[in-house]
Amino acid sequence: MKTIRVVAAVICDSVKEKRKIFATARGYGEFKGQWEFPGGKIEEGETPEQALKREIEEELDTKIEVYDLIDTIEYDYPNFHLSMDCFWCETITGKLVLKEAEAAEWLRKDELDSVQWLPADLTLIEKIRRSMSAL
């Protein structure tokens, strides 16, 4: 089975307090309308952190700071294996413009179950929930 290596940004309002996280709904493809953490494929010669900064600038017109690795998710979809490095991030500059996603939300800890997550992203939700502060 083909493996696809990607990175995902768990963008939060504050890396210290983590009161809200940013999620996007896919605007295309088989999983259109399902929710995920923004990011994308790692290109040859890039570190995961470099790939994440590039992808967020391309997808959301925003510069981010990449912090700690939350987890590497290994997930088997029907046609490929996904290996996804997920990092805590904060925005530096930019307005989070949706160039590829069809919708976006800032979700509080008690709202994490209010959207339909992609299967691989869903495996990360409990770990994120444990790290977030209540408002």
pLDDT in tens, 11-63: 999 999 999 999 999 988 889 999 999 999 999 999 999 999 999 999 999 99
State the pTM of this model. Answer: 0.94
> How does DSSP classify residue 100?
S
What's the CA gap between 92 and 132, in Å, rounded? 20
**Whether the predicted pLDDT of 95 surpasses 90:** no
DSSP 3-state assignment of 12? strand
How much is the pLDDT for 103?
A: 96
Is pLDDT of 134 > 80? no
What is the number of domains present in the chain?
1
pLDDT score at 34: 96
Q: What share of the chain is helix, strand, coil (3-state, %, to 5)?
A: 20, 40, 35
- Note the pLDDT of residue 133: 82
Segments forming the whole domain that contains residue 60:
3-131
Looking at residue 135, its pLDDT comes to 58
Residue 119 has pLDDT above 90, yes or no: yes
Q: In what order do the strands lie in the sheet with 103-108?
A: 35-36, 20-25, 103-108
Q: What percent of the chain has pLDDT over 90?
A: 91
| pLDDT at residue number 30 | 86
What pLDDT, on a 0 to 100 scale, did the predictor assign at position 36?
A: 97
Q: What is the overall mean pLDDT for the chain?
A: 95
**Domain CATH for 120:** 3.90.79.10
